[in-house]
Amino acid sequence: MLRFADHGAHLAALRAAALRAVDPASAVRRFFSPADVAGAERVFVVGAGKAGAAMARAAAEILGERLTAGVIAVPQLPTSAAERITFIEGGHPTPTEGTLLAGRAIADLLAQATARDRVVALISGGGSALLELPVEGLALADLRITNQQLLLSGAAVHEINVVRQRLSQLKGGGLARLAYPARVLGLILSDVVGNPLGLIASGPTVPAPASPQAALAVIEKYHLRSALPSAVLRRLEGVSSSATRAADTSSAAASADNRLIASNRLAGEAAAAAARELGFVAALIADDWQGEAREAGERFARLVSQKARGQGEGGRGAGGWPACLIVGGETTVTVRGAGRGGRNQEAALAAALVIDGLPNVVISTFATDGVDGPTDAAGAMVTGDTLARARALGLDPQKHLDDNDSYSFFAALSNLVVTGPTGTNVNDLMFGLVYSRRADSV
């Protein structure tokens, strides 16, 4: 019999199953083999992202002596090396000097490639900030300010990447253009809702750059014109390089083969399967939730509370008890307060307000990369008695939510989910566990 008292262990099992399903090295091995580079004179490996180290090691093992050289931008240098691959530490969530160093190193490596060579590009979430080669006229400070303003605005990741593409020589298919005439194989681990390959890490291997009009529309939508550097605005409003980029796009597109190797849905389905093995009646409701984190948290909590009260099924296939409801996606936070937190922690705090007093229910949020905002947490966990415990400590949950200070709230309650960096990144997951239809004692 499943007990509410064991919910911590149950949630840990779901997280572990989700991460196993999107393990970067395993994903590379499933979608890449020596046959993919048959006939190539030389093979270069390049890329960027939070899963970059594991992906690179797997690619190096598969290629063996066929690998000529490689450069991968990562958020932190790995403890173990990969044969003939150089790792460079870039910046995240905003670019650093290391970000530019990685961009220049990859551009220099691609300059050696010929039509007889093959370039394997390993792309995963976080790559937009970790790897950059800005267009002429832009400095690192311009990129940092732009990234920071976009992140604070509440813009969705796909909107942020639309702007980033217009400022880069590598994004929006730029890497494929620099590699041409060599053929490019892109192995892509998705951290963007819906898996649009052209927006994951800003699409370095997908030659379909956003239009200047699309980028400017994002700036206008979030009222950022006065907050951005003048050099960035001139670039977004100009069309000086559009003709050249368009001329290069068709050739680069013809030479690129992009493969999606892992996604949020795969992680969510694996977690649901693990829940069923534990004895829950489980359902993955969706993998495309977006919008404000607090609104998503409230919405999910309402589904879970309806399930607990026997008023609704909470989604297709979720009938029965004990129940596990799962939602995936990636939300945003419009920062208005001075607190500290992340989208998953903010969603959990909003959920706690909805399930206050409800027994035998637990909700947990989880960033699959292990990093939720500028904190050491991956998310948080709440139950029906979370707010009672908080008030006993003198904490005002609504005040913390209004101040975007979810981290301090959950740290005081020891309810943070801390995994450390996981080495992968396929957006976020929310788990709702309902242990009984009745109001049993906890």
Pick the CATH number of 4-19+264-434 from 3.40.1480.10, 3.40.50.800, 3.30.565.10, 3.40.50.1370: 3.40.1480.10
Strands 416-417 and 361-367: unpaired
pLDDT of the residue at 248: 52
Angstrom distances, CA of residue 240 to CA of 2, 166, 236, 247:
63, 11, 10, 13
| AA identity, residue 437 | R
Give SS3 for 351. helix
CATH number 3.40.50.10180 given to 23-262: yes
> What are the mean pLDDT values of the chain's consecutive 10-residue runs (442 residues total)?
95 98 97 97 97 96 97 94 94 94 98 97 95 95 94 87 92 95 97 92 87 92 95 83 48 78 98 98 97 97 93 52 95 93 98 97 97 96 98 97 97 98 95 76 33
pLDDT of the residue at 439: 42
Strand order in the sheet with 85-89: 85-89, 67-74, 43-48, 118-123, 183-189, 256-262
Residue with tokens 């009646």: 281
* 4-19+264-434 and 23-262 in the same fold: no
pTM of the predicted model, to two decimals?
0.86
Question: How is the chain split into domains, by residue range?
Answer: 4-19+264-434, 23-262
Dig out the tokens for 231 from the structure. Answer: 């050099």
> Nearest Cα to 307, choosing from 330, 343, 280?
280
Distance, CA of 301 to CA of 204 (rounded, Å):
37
Strands 85-89 and 67-74: parallel
pLDDT of the residue at 249: 53
First to last CA, the chain: 14
Count of C-beta atoms within a 10 Å radius of residue 87? 19
